[in-house]
Each structure stands twice: as C-alpha cells, then as structure tokens.
C-alpha cells in the first residue's frame, strides 16, 4: 500500500496512542515501527564537555504533525553532508520523537466501487504509521559546532528544508 499524501496528516489532533496490554481494551493492536534510526550523531563527548560554542537550528514556525519518513529523510541528508564537510567536528541532535499513531479507514475505490457501503461510519481506523507532533517555533534539528562551521551548517540545513513540510527558518545561537 502506498503512502497517503502528507497534507492528510499535517493538522495537529489529540495524541491518541492507546495501546493496552489487555487485547480487548486496546483499539490499536500493533504500533507501526518508527523509521527514525538515530537521534544523537557526531561528537557526543564534545557536546557533553561543552566544546561547541554555537548552535544552528532548523525551527518549525507552525504547529503541525510530521511523518517519521520525512524526518528520517532529512536526518539522513543532513548527517551525510555534515560528515563529508565537517568531518566529525560537530554534534547533530534530532529533537522531535514520532509518537502519534496515524490511522486510516480504507474505503473501496476503482472499478465496480460505485455503490459504497456506509458501514462502520465512525470507524477507529487501522494504524498505518507514526508522526511527531511539533509545536510552533520549536527546534526540529540542532547542530552544535564552532564558529568556522556556521556557514557550512546553514547551507546544509537550507538544503534539507525541502524534505520537511511547512514554514521553516534557520536560527544561530551562541551556547553558554
């Protein structure tokens, strides 16, 4: 089954992730796997030792839901370019965790589906994926680096903005 369009799931709804140990009480039988592989990359020891003076972040300007496959695609692109250009001289952090379970009530379409049954009008739907619920003006990706790496990191984050939905901006801050 192919993915539905992203705009079907961008509106933030109440996070409903009920998964009970008792099968009769659980609406969601299985939770789809999270596609995001890593959340902390690069020089982790340098981050904890406060080696880096600057933080360059990709900020999401609107509150929205973002699917895990778009987060993972952007993460892979950013990480690949950071490793190639800065050669491990930075720390890369993903700040959002996909926890919201996306559901779909599949309906018949195509030839012979001109008379559709109206059964299960208020169906709960079947779990098809997970998404991260992101609040307005929150950081999605953060890269901690030294001052010479700031322009490189800005261009890398600007290239990755195309893989993320919604309005975005890049923020540079000095770390204490």
pTM of the model: 0.83
Give the residues across from 139 on adjacent strands: 59
Calpha distance 65→11 (Å, rounded) = 6
Please name each of the domains of the chain with its CATH number: 39-105+124-176 (3.90.1170.10)
Backbone angles phi, psi at 132, to 5 degrees: -100, 135
Q: What are phi and psi of 26, to 5 degrees?
A: -95, 125
The residues pairing with 40 across neighbouring beta strands, listed in sequence order, are 93
d(CA 55, CA 37): 22
CB 102 within 8 A of CB 132: no
pLDDT tens digit sequence for 160-169: 999 999 999 9
- State the pLDDT confidence band at 94, using cuts at 50, 70 and 90: very high
| pLDDT confidence tier of residue 124, bands split at 50, 70 and 90 | confident
Please spell the DSSP secondary structure of 71-117, one letter per residue: HHHHHHHHHHHHHHHHTT-SEEEE-----EEEEE-----STT-SS--
């Amino acid at each position: 089954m192919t993915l539905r369009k992203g705009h079907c799931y961008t509106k933030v709804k109440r996070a409903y992730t009920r998964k009970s140990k008792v099968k009769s009480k659980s609406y969601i039988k299985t939770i789809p796997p999270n596609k995001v592989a890593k959340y902390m990359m690069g020089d982790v020891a340098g981050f904890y030792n406060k080696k880096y003076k600057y933080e360059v972040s990709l900020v999401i300007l609107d509150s929205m839901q973002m699917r895990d496959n778009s987060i993972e695609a952007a993460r892979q692109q950013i990480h690949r370019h950071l490793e190639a250009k800065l050669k491990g001289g930075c720390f890369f952090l993903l700040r959002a965790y996909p926890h919201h379970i996306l559901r779909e009530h599949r309906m018949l379409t195509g030839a012979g589906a001109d008379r559709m049954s109206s059964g299960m009008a208020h169906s709960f739907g079947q779990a098809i994926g997970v998404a991260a619920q992101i609040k307005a003006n929150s950081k999605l990706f953060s890269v901690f680096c030294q001052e010479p790496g700031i322009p490189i990191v800005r261009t890398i984050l600007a290239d990755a903005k195309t893989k993320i939905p919604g309005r975005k901006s890049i923020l540079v801050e000095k770390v204490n």
